[in-house]
Amino acid sequence: MSLIELVSYLPLTVSSGRFLKNSSAIFRARGSGQWGRCCVVWYTVLRYVKLERAVSSILWSADAHSLEFSSSYQDKISINLDNFIQNKVEASKQLQENLHSLFPRAFPREKLKDLRVSSFSDNPDALVSLFERPDNKLLLKPLIEELASCLLALTEEEMIQTLQNSQAFLQTLVRCLYGPNGVPPRAWQTAMFQHAPVLKYPRNLYIIDDMVCLGNPRAKQVHRDNYPAWWALTEGVGLPLLIFIGVFRPVEVNLALRLKPKRAPDEMRHFIFTRPYTQAIHKMSILWTGKMVNKALYSVESNLQAEARVHRHVMKAFLKKHLQQELGTLLVDDQESTRPQQLGLSKIIHGFFGLATETGLTEAIPQTGAISASNLRQSDIDFARLVARYLVASKYDLTGPIEKVKAKAGSLHECLPFLYGPGKPWEQLGDEVLVEVTTTLIYGGSQPALLTHPPYHGYSTDVVATAVTLVSSPR
């Protein structure tokens, strides 16, 4: 029986490829001719395998708080949403610890605490990198010079350790990017993220509405270069990324040049994920690959421990299960949509999981669960008061003659719809007015209009009490 006849009896699954891969060593040992025949059959079977889509299944628990994922390319894994989001919070904390490890003790770290995402300026429609803007250069220049004077004075071993620490930062960054920001990119797309344009490809790092965003990844389609996908990052992830690229990366380039002067790391000036020292000397590229991204996702620190496409399936399943009613088919079925819609989706997911967008490097760590009223900004409270005034008048029909308004206001004080919500009190607490005012208190004027779903962990009672006060006495 020939090899082709033997393969024809095998099912067109990954097992076919594994069979040929395991038998390749035998054919290679018997001569190049047999090995060449094996390669022909190998690519033929692989072509058929790719035509048949891998079967994946997701089974949700009764309370929709956990799920089981299984596929022909992944062993069955169980995912608890509480553990999943807590893992992403821990990843955000670890990211900041990794960032601090890049700055020696001699560096005045208190200067980093003054940085905010709002400290940077950017024009999303500009082709140039945000770090090439004169105002951002003026902001970062003193920090770069201070860090350079500290790091360039290190010994060679200490410089190597610093470059290795930068790899730890990027590995943790991958775990953060594959968190609750939307349907994540493919592994090879993440590896090719750019902070500055190169050739025909635009940059992928932006600041939009005081949010650090990633967008326009490389497209898998042949007929175009980039795909219009966008993700907004929490400040606990976005701000360390800005500091890493804006402050550390220029000094890292000098460290790499000093250790390996024969090779100029030009890729570091454009791409986010680079490996200036760990790459073998005989290889020219110092860029990350999709395999390295998947390896970071398989790390023991990740509770999912699965490759990028599993993260994509899980996030799609989450959107369809928990936010389908609010979002319709937005981004769930890989359909293209506008940039504001996609960034709004990221903020909706952040809100659902209770990821607070605080300010500052230390305070930017997302907090699960309740958001305390003591952390609310006065500007958000003032804006929420204006929102409450408008919603109370429009939603409760408090317009027209003064007699009608007084009668309607009296009935509102008796039934308190904003507190008990529609239907029976034990079915739902709070109507859309209270939910909208509460979310405005937390997220301010930049909170998305689609955010009507309560967070996964619910709202803090003191924040709801503040919102009730604003709604019940809007004037």
Q: Are strands 74-80 and 205-208 parallel, antiparallel or unpaired?
A: unpaired
Average pLDDT estimate for 445-463: 64
419-441 pLDDT, tens digit per residue, is 776 665 545 667 778 888 887 88
Q: Three-class SS of residue 267?
A: helix
Q: What is the DSSP letter of 220?
A: S
Main-chain dihedrals φ then ψ at residue 457, nearest 5 degrees: -95, 5
291-323 pLDDT, tens digit per residue, is 999 999 988 776 678 889 889 988 888 888 887
Q: Tell me the pTM.
A: 0.72
pLDDT at 451 over 70: no
The pLDDT score that the predictor gives to residue 460 is: 75
Q: What is the DSSP letter of 375?
A: G
Higher model confidence: residue 193 or residue 180? 193
Main-chain dihedrals φ then ψ at residue 77, nearest 5 degrees: -130, 145
pLDDT at 365 over 60: no
Counting beta carbons within 10 angstroms of the beta carbon of residue 195, is it exposed (0 to 12), middle (13 to 18) or buried (19 or more)?
buried
Helix-then-strand count for the chain, H and E: 19, 6
Q: Which two tokens stand for residue 437?
A: 């005012």
d(CA 233, CA 190): 14
- The answer to whether 231 and 330 have CB atoms below 8 angstroms apart is no
Percent of the chain exceeding pLDDT 70 equals 72
Cβ partners under 8 Å of residue 233, min gap 6: 176, 177, 181, 211, 212, 213, 214, 241, 346
**8 pLDDT tier (thresholds 50, 70, 90):** very low
Please report, for the chain, the start and end positions of each structural domain, with discontinuous segments joined by +: 3-52, 62-352, 373-472
Average pLDDT estimate for 349-356: 73
The pLDDT score that the predictor gives to residue 186 is: 93
Q: Three-class SS of residue 229?
A: coil
Q: Three-class SS of residue 70?
A: strand
Sequence length of the chain is 475
**H or E element: which one contains 135?**
helix 134-151
The pLDDT score that the predictor gives to residue 3 is: 47
- The answer to whether 207 and 117 have CB atoms below 8 angstroms apart is yes
pLDDT at 360 over 70: no
Q: Three-class SS of residue 95?
A: helix
Average pLDDT estimate for 232-254: 93
pLDDT at 475 over 60: no
378-414 pLDDT, tens digit per residue, is 777 888 888 888 888 888 877 778 888 788 777 777 7
The pLDDT score that the predictor gives to residue 394 is: 81
**57 pLDDT tier (thresholds 50, 70, 90):** confident
**In terms of Cα–Cα distance, which of 215, 213, 218 is closest to 237?**
213
Question: Angle at CA 245, nearest 5°, toward 239 and 248?
Answer: 105
Average pLDDT estimate for 325-334: 54
Tell me how far CA of residue 369 lies from CA of 167, 222, 316, 343, in angstroms: 31, 44, 23, 22
pLDDT at 333 over 80: no
Quick one: residue 206, left, alpha or beta (phi over 0 = left, psi -120 to 50 = alpha)?
Answer: beta
- The answer to whether 214 and 177 have CB atoms below 8 angstroms apart is yes
The pLDDT score that the predictor gives to residue 332 is: 47
Main-chain dihedrals φ then ψ at residue 194, nearest 5 degrees: -115, 140
Cβ partners under 8 Å of residue 159, min gap 6: 151, 255, 258, 259
Question: Angle at CA 107, nearest 5°, toward 366 and 267?
Answer: 75
pLDDT at 193 over 80: yes
Please, what is the end-to-end C-alpha distance for the chain in angstroms? 87
Write down the mean pLDDT value for the chain: 78
